[in-house]
Amino acid sequence: MYGKKEKVAYEKEVFLRFLSLTDIHVDKDTIRAGDPHKNEPDILCEFIHGGDAGFELSRLTNRTLMMIQKSRTPEKYPYVRCGEDSLRQARKKIRKRYSVNVPVNLLLYTEYPISSPESYIREVVKPLARSLNHQYAEIWFMGKDTATVIYERPLISLPN
């Protein structure tokens, strides 16, 4: 789909759009691509008020619809029956492991075409995020116009 340079530029563009929809304050000069050969997340950065973080990005799209859209004239095939890939794509990404010493967050984002409403995808992925063993501090879902936290690692309180 993309060469390495195009992938890095595209992921930074997605990440900047995500930041514009949230109250997360990242020093934009510190945003850099992680090294997949070192098991780093897609984006590494620093918060304005201190602290480092990593963000793994995962595009949720319906591959069947995307292939049909690229290969056929929509007017000719107005109705297509297909399943939803989002849960499978999210499960695969949630299970991923990283070799960094910073909190890692997952950003699941939709890219059209998708076959289910964003609200459905968000609600289906929430229990998955709670049930699978993973290392994410937060899991975010970004749709067309909004970004919301769908999982936050519980804080463990120690007895007094």
Residue with tokens 């992680």: 34
Q: What is the mean pLDDT of residues 8-27?
A: 96
Whether the predicted pLDDT of 40 surpasses 70: yes
Higher-confidence position of 62 and 41: 41
Span of 15-19, 28-32, 115-119, 150-154 with lowest mean pLDDT: 115-119
Alpha-carbon distances, residue 104 vs 17, 19, 39 (angstroms): 18, 15, 12
Q: Alpha-carbon torsion 6, 7, 10, 15, what sign?
A: negative
Read off the pLDDT of residues 68-94 as tens digits, 9 standing for 90 and up: 556 655 565 555 554 556 777 888 899
pLDDT grade, residue 1 (50/70/90)?
A: low
Q: At what angle do helices 86-94 and 118-131 cross, to 10 degrees?
A: 30
Residue 63 has a CB neighbour count (10 Å cut-off) of 12
The token duo for 130 is 């709670």
How far apart CA 86 and CA 72 sit, in angstroms, is: 23
Mean pLDDT of the chain: 84
